[in-house]
Chain A
Amino acid sequence: MTIVSDRAFSVSRLPGFATIAVTVLVMLYLPIVLLVLFAFNAGPSPAIWEGFSLHWFPRAWANEQVKEATIRSLVIATSAAIISTSVAVLAALGTTRRRKSPGQTFVYLMINQPLMVPEIVTAVALLILFGFIKVATGYQGLGYLILAHSAFCIPFAYLPIRARLEGMDITLEIAAADLYATPWQAFRHVTLPMLMPAVAAGFMLAFITSLDDVIISLFVKSAGQDTLPTYMLGQIRRNMTVEVNAISTLLIGLTVILLTAFFLLTRERNRPQK
Chain B
Amino acid sequence: MSSAIAIETRRALKEYGTGSHAVRALDGVCVRIDKGEFFTLLGPSGCGKTTLLRLIAGFETPTSGQILLHGKNITTVPPNLRPVNTVFQSYALFPHLTVADNIAFSLRMLGRSRSDVLQTVERMLSLVRLESFASRKPQQLSGGQQQRVALARALAPEPKVLLLDEPLSALDLKLRKEMQRELKRLQTETGITFIFVTHDQEEALTMSDRIAVMRSGKILQVGAPREIYNHPVDRFVADFIGETNFLSGRVEGDKIRLSSGELVAAETEGHSGSVTLAVRPEQVGICPAGTSDSLTAEIVDTVYFGTDTHCHLSLADETELVARLQSPPSGNIGLSRGEKVGIKFNPGAVQVLNE
Contacts and interface: CB of A to CB of B under 8 A. Distances in A.
User: Do A and B interact directly, with beta carbons closer than 8 Å?
Assistant: yes
A272 B136 CA distance: 13
Interface in B281-326: none
A75 B234 CA distance: 75
Q: Is the interface of A mostly helix, strand, loop or mixed?
A: helix
B90 interface: yes
Contacts of A172: 92, 94-95
Interface string A169-189: 101101111111111011001
Interface in B73-122: 78-81, 84-86, 88, 90, 92, 94-96, 105-106, 108-110
Q: Is the interface of B mostly helix, strand, loop or mixed?
A: mixed
Contact of B90 (A171, A185, A189): A171
B79 A189 contact: no
A124 interface: no
> Interface extent on B, as a size class?
20 to 34
Given A194-B95, A272-B95, A177 B85 contact: no
A13 interface: no
B341 interface: no
B247 to A, nearest CB: 46
A91 interface: no
A177 B95 contact: no
A185 B78 CA distance: 14
Given A174-B59, A194-B95, A272-B139, A180 B106 contact: yes
A181 B96 contact: no
Contacts of B108: 189
Nearest to A175: B92
B86 A178 contact: yes
A194 B96 contact: yes
B153 interface: yes
A180 B90 contact: no
A31 interface: no
Contacts of A182: 80, 109
B90 A174 contact: no
B96 A180 contact: no
B57 interface: yes
Contacts of A138: none
A177 B86 CA distance: 10
A224 interface: no
Contacts of B84: 178
Contact of A177 (B79, B110, B137): B79
Nearest to B165: A171
Nearest to A173: B92
Nearest to A180: B109
A239 B271 CA distance: 106
A183 B80 CA distance: 9
Contacts of B96: 193-194, 272
Nearest to A183: B80
Contacts, number: 71
A272 B90 CA distance: 13
B225 interface: no
A91 B197 CA distance: 37
A174 B85 CA distance: 11
A199 to B, nearest CB: 14
Contact of A174 (B92, B110, B138, B139): B92
Interface string A135-155: 000000000000000000000
B153 A179 contact: yes
A271 B137 CA distance: 12
A190 interface: yes
A17 to B, nearest CB: 39
Contacts of B139: 271-272
A171 B92 contact: yes
Contacts of A272: 95-96, 137-139
B79 A178 contact: yes
B157 A177 contact: no
B314 to A, nearest CB: 50
Contact of B109 (A169, A179, A194): A179
A55 B336 CA distance: 99
B80 A178 contact: yes
Interface string B136-162: 011100000000000001100100000
Given A178-B84, A190-B94, 10 more contacts: A172-B94, A176-B109, A177-B58, A177-B78, A179-B85, A179-B157, A180-B110, A183-B80, A194-B96, A272-B137
Interface of A: 169, 171-172, 174-183, 185-186, 189-190, 193-194, 271-272
Closest 5 CB pairs of A and B: A179-B106, A272-B95, A175-B92, A171-B92, A180-B109
Interface of B: 57-59, 78-81, 84-86, 88, 90, 92, 94-96, 105-106, 108-110, 137-139, 153-154, 157
29 contacts: A169-B90, A169-B92, A171-B88, A171-B92, A172-B92, A174-B79, A174-B92, A175-B88, A175-B92, A176-B105, A178-B57, A178-B79, A178-B80, A178-B154, A179-B80, A179-B106, A179-B109, A179-B154, A180-B81, A180-B106, A180-B157, A181-B80, A181-B106, A181-B109, A190-B94, A194-B96, A272-B95, A272-B96, A272-B138
